[in-house]
Amino acid sequence: EAGVTQSPTHLIKTRGQQATLRCSPISGHTSVYWYQQALGLGLQFLLWYDEGEERNRGNFPPRFSGRQFPNYSSELNVNALELEDSALYLCASSRTTASLGDTQYFGPGTRLTVL
């Protein structure tokens, strides 16, 4: 069974540009989560999608947005990039909401660098 996949592996942008990151969940998983991990720091919750709907978002500005497609894959968009957006962006998926005991499985991440 294939794990969570993310693309691209690395992404380099300049300040003010937009970045689009993609995630494909494990087959059968309907929930997708996005996290940001700045260098040397812990994971910060960004967004949670389930069945195509945004269910919750963390403490991030509106320029961080995304969507979930009918096949449950997801896209994270970051507009008006700022230098501090440079981080590892991790996607995770689960069968249902993780607090009900369904494990989140993580992808390898996308390293976004803003110059």
Partner 1 sequence: LAKTTQPISMDSYEGQEVNITCSHNNIATNDYITWYQQFPSQGPRFIIQGYKTKVTNEVASLFIPADRKSSTLSLPRVSLSDTAVYYCLVGDDNNAGNMLTFGGGTRLMVKP
Contact residues: partner 1, CB under 8 A:
4, 33, 35, 42-43, 45, 48, 55-56, 58, 88, 90, 92, 97-101, 103-109, 111
Q: Cβ contacts of residue 64 below 8 Å, gap of 6+?
A: 46, 47, 57, 76, 77, 78
In the bound state with partner 1, the residue whose beta carbon lies nearer, of 16 and 42, is 42
Nearest residue (CB) to partner 1, 84 versus 99: 99
CB of 45 to partner 1, least distance (A): 6
Cβ proximity of 90 and 84 under 8 Å: no
Distance CA 112, CA 78 (A): 10
- Which is nearer to partner 1, 22 or 58 (by Cβ)? 58
Sorted by sequence, the CB contacts under 8 Å of residue 115 that are 6+ apart come out as 12, 13, 14, 15, 83
* Helix, strand, coil % in the chain, rounded to nearest 5: 5, 50, 45
CB of 95 to partner 1, least distance (A): 13
Provide the minimum distance between the beta carbon of 81 and partner 1 in the complex, in angstroms, as a whole number: 20
Nearer to partner 1 among residue 78 and residue 110 (C-beta): 110
